[in-house]
A and B are shown apart, each in its own frame.
Chain A
Amino acid sequence: GDSVTQMEGPVTLSEEAFLTINCTYTATGYPSLFWYVQYPGEGLQLLLKATKADDKGSNKGFEATYRKETTSFHLEKGSVQVSDSAVYFCALGHMLGGGNKLTFGTGTQLKVEL
C-alpha cells in the first residue's frame, strides 16, 4: 500500500539558515504530493503541492520538486524565520471515490531560534 517516510525531528535551526526536510514515498500509479504545515494548537494547512513528476510546488519561500525517479518530495527553504516553527507533514494523494485519500508521514517538527 501507499506509505510516506519523513525524517525524524525535531529539527532545530538558527534564523536565516537553510532548511531541508526529506520525504520519500511508496505508491502505485501516479499520486499527487503535498506538504502540510501545522502551527501550535491549529489544524493542518496546505503549504504546497505537486500533481505530476518534475512539478515544483512553491509557497511562502518553501519549495519541493516531485522526483519520480527517486520517489522523493523534499521540502526546502533558503532562509527560515522564527515564524516557520511548526510541524511539517508530507502526504501523498490518491483518488478515493472521486475525492482525495491522503496518506501522511509522521511529521517533522521544526524549531527556529534567534
Chain B
Amino acid sequence: NAGVTQTPKFRVLKTGQSMTLLCAQDMNHEYMYWYRQDPGMGLRLIHYSVGEGTTAKGEVPDGYNVSRLKKQNFLLGLESAAPSQTSVYFCASSYTFHSPGDYEQYFGPGTRLTVT
C-alpha cells in the first residue's frame, strides 16, 4: 500500500515550457486535490476533483489545468510555465465524508518545481 505517490520529485523548466505532474493513490479515495506550497504562505488549493471525470477550481487555479480520467490518478498540467510557478506541489486525497468534518486528507511527498 503506497498511499499517495507523485512523479517527478524534482523538475527544472525554462519559461514557456510545459509539463505534467502525476499523482496516484491506491486507497480508492473519491476526492483528490492539488496544492502549492510557498514560503510564508502555507498551502494553497489549486484544483480539486470529487470523482472520476470531474474537476473544479480552487483558490489559485490560473496557469494550471487538471484531469481525472481514472479514479486513482490526478494530473496537474502547466501549459506555459512562468517563474511565478516555482513552488513545491503537493497532491492529496480523501474519502467521501461520513460525518461533517470527520475526515483527513492524505498527502504525497511533493514535487519541487523550479522555473527559470
Contacts and interface: CB of A to CB of B under 8 A. Distances in A.
Interface of A: 4, 30-32, 34, 36, 41-46, 49, 51-52, 89, 93, 95-102, 104-107
Contact of B42 (A42, A51, A104): A104
Contacts of A97: 50, 56
Nearest to A92: B101
Interface stretch (B12-20, B76-84, B92-100): B92-100
Of A4, A31, A99, A105, most B-chain CB atoms within 10 Å:
A99
Interface residues of B, number: 29
Contacts of B99: 51
B70 to A, nearest CB: 18
A99 B104 CA distance: 10
Given A98-B50, A106-B42, A44 B90 contact: yes
Given A43-B4, A99-B30, A100-B94, A51 B100 contact: yes
Given A96-B48, A107-B42, A44 B96 contact: no
A89 B43 contact: yes
Contact of A32 (B4, B42, B50, B101): B101
Given A30-B100, A98-B97, A99-B94, 5 more contacts: A96-B50, A97-B56, A98-B31, A100-B104, A104-B42
A67 to B, nearest CB: 16
7 contacts: A32-B100, A32-B101, A36-B107, A42-B109, A98-B30, A100-B94, A106-B42
Nearest to A95: B100
A34 B48 contact: no
A34 B104 contact: yes
A95 B102 CA distance: 10
B42 A105 contact: yes
Contact of B108 (A30, A43, A49): A43
Contacts of A36: 107
Interface string B31-45: 101000000111111
